[in-house]
Structure 1
Amino acid sequence: MRLQGKVALITGSGSGIGRAAAALFAREGASVIVNDVDETTGQQTVEQIAALGGQAAFIQADVTQPDAVELLVKRAIERFGRIDVLFNNAGISGVGAIHEIELDAWDRVMNVNIRGVYLTSKSVLPHMMEQRSGSIINMSSCIAEIGLARRASYSASKGAVLALTKSMQVDYAKYGIRVNALLPGTIMTPFVENYLRSSYDDPEAAIASLKSRQLSGDLGTPEDVAQAALFLASDESKFMMGSPLYMDGGVTFGKNA
């Protein structure tokens, strides 16, 4: 019960990494606020947690909308009294080199991946500052550290998240708040699987090519990333501040011969 008595808000927890983290946090004793723009998938996450005997509540909100985010946090505080962990997990991908990306597509990636982290953190931080404790986990990506073809908007957004994490830590350390970043590699979420199967003539070959980039020889699972998030959420990581935590199968710092 590594999160016993804690309250955790996880954005984008209707599926994939967010859902895996919500379930794991609940199993470890946390009361979980499940957030997603999709009410159906968010409620499904809550139902899964309830079936396992955990405590969770769903609050729908689009993390790019200030009023919606403020209401999300207000309702979470009214329901549970506090927020000990904020996992800024909500995010979308973007494909294309700079000359290929339309402005609205660029803005959409930046709005969800950066603006969403800013707005949710902005609303949660005053409560953490008042209680003088908290752990914020920002979802970056190993792509913040490496080059990858035709991922300009996504890499820019995730690099910004990593830089923001470090700046936030300096500002809020004096309030007992820790801010760290997760940097996953390619994780076989439903989104990634659907993308691969809809975008390639030979999805299995595409998956095999992705696996070949990993020193592990395989892709990560949402549960792999959830375990890393649990460590950052728990008091076990109390000496980690402003740090990137890599969960990438060796992509960033390794290279197969």
Structure 2
Amino acid sequence: MDLQLKNRVALVTGGSQGIGKAVAMKFAEEGATVVIAARGQALLDEVAAQIRAAGGKVTAIAADVSKDEECTRLVQEVLKAHGRLDILINNAGTSATGEFESVTDDKWQADFDLKLFAAIRLTRLAIPEMKKNNWGRIINVTNIGAKQPKEKSMPTTVTRAAGLAMTKALSKEFAPNNILVNSVCIGLIRAGQHERKAEKAGIPVEQMYETMGKTIPLGRVGRAEEVANVVTFLASEGGSYVTGSSVNLDGGLSAVM
């Protein structure tokens, strides 16, 4: 299936590892020009080298998207390098959780800045460029806790829930401009944070994944590449009638749609 992503320019935040890296590699495989952004240039350069080695087109830009001025600089550099911005994947952020009484104002603010305000600011900068071509795709990576928050899950579940509300509102506002806005809510996906947790606990990571998988109807933890497949579809012409939707990528774990 030709996803018709050739000559599209896609910006992927959190693009140096995990889901962001997998999404960037999949976009490049489909012929899109990819811009990956994260805080660390060294890791970005490693990913960029892998993409180029596979024949893909990529630009790596170090940026801290929790800061307003860095969001502005990032989009300016994308436009300077490629002249357009067609696809925005708001993927920055890790899972920050704790007991409610232990979460300080600073921790709340940091989570909002990284997960919600980064998406707000980058979207605000991207939409005028998408309007020029009457075509755009914005995909917000959230998690299933946004729909079904557990105890001791803040601030992440709150900032992610706000991201879902923003997704729905934007999808309605910019549908006349053919700018489609969707979200993917991830469940348990293989990631560096799990590997670090296993190392700290002194257990093999595969053993930990096996234990985690027992809680999932499909019986296993998901892979970043599986998330990338869905994100790429939503960004393509194949998903041209999908907007304002939230897809659970959780192996059936969530109890809600």
Q: TM-score range by the shorter chain?
A: over 0.9
Note if contact 1:185-1:248 (Cα within 8 Å) is conserved in structure 2.
Answer: yes
> Which segments of structure 1 move beyond 6 Å, counting only runs of 4 or more?
none
Q: Which amino acid aligns with 1:34?
A: I
Aligned pair count reads 253
The one-letter code sitting in structure 2 at the alignment partner of 1:245 is V
What residue is the counterpart of 2:127 in the other structure?
125
Decide which of 59, 62, 65 is 2:61's aligned counterpart: 59
Per-residue CA shift, 1:182-209, capped at 9, x if unaligned? 11101111123213433x4657675444
- 8 A Cα contact 1:187 1:221, kept in partner: yes
Aligned AA (1:48): Q
1:176 equivalent to 2:178? Answer yes
Q: 1: CA distance between counterparts of 2:190 and 2:25?
A: 17
Q: Would you say the 8 A contact 2:86–2:129 is kept in 1?
A: no
Aligned with residue 48 of structure 2, among 46, 49, 62:
46
**Equivalent residues in 2 for 1:109-120 (5 A)?**
109-120=111-122
Distance in 2 of aligned mates of 1:62 and 1:162: 22
> Quick check: 1:181–1:245 contact (8 Å CA) kept in 2?
yes
Per the alignment, in what secondary structure is the counterpart of residue 140 of structure 1?
strand
Mapped to 1, the partners of 2:100 and 2:216 lie a distance apart of 26
Contact 1:21 1:229 in 2 (8 A): yes
2:242 aligns with one of 215, 240, 251: 240
**CA offsets per residue over residues 110-129 of structure 1, 9 Å max, x none?**
21111111111111111112
Unaligned 5+ residue runs, structure 1?
Answer: none
1:64/1:119 contact within 8 Å kept: no
CA shift, 1:132, in A, is 1.4
CA distance in 1, matches of 2:158, 2:209: 24
- 1:109 and 1:157 in contact (8 A); partners too: yes
Please show how residues 12-161 of structure 1 align to structure 2 within 5 Å. Answer: 12-161=14-163
Tell me how far 1:57 sits from its aligned partner.
Answer: 0.6
In structure 2, the residue matched to 1:162 is 164
Report % sequence identity.
29
Task: State the 1:99 CA deviation.
Answer: 1.1
Q: CA deviation at 1:96?
A: 0.7
Task: Give 1:231 deviation, angstroms.
Answer: 0.7
Distance 1:203 1:163 in 2: 38
How far, CA to CA, are the matches of 1:100 and 1:209 in structure 2?
Answer: 28
| Counterpart in the other structure of 1:197 | 199
SS in 2 for 1:56: strand
- Quick one: distance in 1 between partners of 2:90 and 2:198? 25
Q: Given that residues 67 and 113 in structure 2 are in contact (C-alpha distance below 8 angstroms), is that contact kept between their aligned partners in structure 1?
A: no
Kindly tell me: are residues 97 and 70 of structure 1, through their superposed partners in 2, closer, same or farther at Cα, counting changes over 3 Å? same
Whole-Å separation in 1 of the counterparts to 2:131 and 2:83: 14
**Cα root mean square deviation, aligned:** 1.7
- 5+ residue gaps, structure 2, are none
CA displacement, residues 24-71 of structure 1 (integer Å, 9 cap, x when unaligned) = 110010000111111111111110100001100111111111111111
Query: Does structure 2 retain, via aligned residues, the 8 Å contact 1:93–1:109?
Result: no
Letter in 2 for 1:220: G
Distance 1:142 1:107, change over 3 A: same
Separation in structure 1 between the aligned mates of residue 50 and residue 196 of structure 2, nearest angstrom: 22
- Look up the equivalent residue of 1:95 and give its one-letter code: T
Contact 1:196 1:207 in 2 (8 A): no
Could you tell which deviates more after superposition, 51-60 or 201-210?
Answer: 201-210
